[in-house]
Amino acid sequence: MRSTCSVFCGVSLDGFIARPDGALDFLEGDGTAEMGDHGYEAFIAGVDAIVMGRHTFEVVLGFGQWPYTKKVFVLSSGNVDLSVARQRGADVELLHASPEEVVHQLAARGCKHLYIDGGATVQRFLRAGLIDRLIVTHVPVLIGQGIPLFGPLEKDIRWKLVASRSFPGGLVQSEYAR
Ligand SMILES: NC(=O)c1ccc[n+]([C@@H]2O[C@H](COP(=O)([O-])OP(=O)(O)OC[C@H]3O[C@@H](n4cnc5c(N)ncnc54)[C@H](OP(=O)(O)O)[C@@H]3O)[C@@H](O)[C@H]2O)c1
């Protein structure tokens, strides 16, 4: 048995999850409309743990406050200092495992539903055929360059559209399942 894996992320219209330097400012819109949480709270409530790449962990550390109440597993092939996050109240653990090992190890630890986060990390799980649900919120802005959500694949991955929703500020959210 393996955990179910979901992605929930905001992207520019041209498919970037962050600027080249990791900045996320474009996700906030142009300030003319209240962006709301567009379903994030409901989504995160149904998640047992968050699995994020080391780069995303470092960006989250830069927020100052630790934003998650769920257990977080940070993926890295190296040593990552978790002490600052723990001082801020994070329940965080380091993992060095393939996507396949992650979904089996964490299922065995009772995590039925994983939130997979980070560009390279999502791409690895996609290539391994392990993403079951994609919730992508497009922000109506082109930023030209940045860190892409999607990347090269060995073969096509087809999805079923579950829902599409629009929000104030011009956000369009598409939810897909395998
Ligand atoms: N717009 C959004 O909704 C959204 C969501 C999430 C993230 N972001 C942004 O995306 C950016 C980060 O994305 P990213 O593509 O640069 O990187 P990332 O996926 O956050 O992190 C990549 C790193 O994770 C580690 N990793 C991933 N899979 C692994 C595995 N199976 N085993 C061991 N280590 C593994 C590696 O770390 P090592 O190099 O240490 O081995 C790899 O270099 C940040 O700017 C973040 O803010 C945006």
pLDDT digits (tens, 9 = 90+) for 153-177: 999 999 999 999 999 889 999 999 9
CATH code of 4-16+37-177, in short, is 3.40.430.10
Answer positive or negative: Cα dihedral of 11, 15, 17, 22.
negative
Q: Report how far ligand 1's centroid is from the alpha carbon of 22 (Å).
A: 10
- For the chain, give the number of residues: 178
Q: Report how far ligand 1's centroid is from the alpha carbon of 55 (Å).
A: 4
Residue with CA closest to ligand 1 atom 22: 53
Q: Give the separation between CA 117 and CA 55, rounded to whole angstroms.
A: 10
Res. 91: pLDDT tops 70? yes
- Please give all residues whose beta carbon lies within 6 A of any atom in ligand 1, as ranges: 9-10, 17-18, 22, 24, 27, 52-56, 59, 75-78, 96-99, 117-121, 124, 147
37: confidence class by pLDDT, cuts 50, 70, 90: confident
Are the beta carbons of 82 and 75 closer than 8 angstroms? no
Q: Report how far ligand 1's centroid is from the alpha carbon of 109 (Å).
A: 23
Q: Report how far ligand 1's centroid is from the alpha carbon of 123 (Å).
A: 9
Task: Return the percentage of the chain with pLDDT > 90, whole number.
Answer: 92
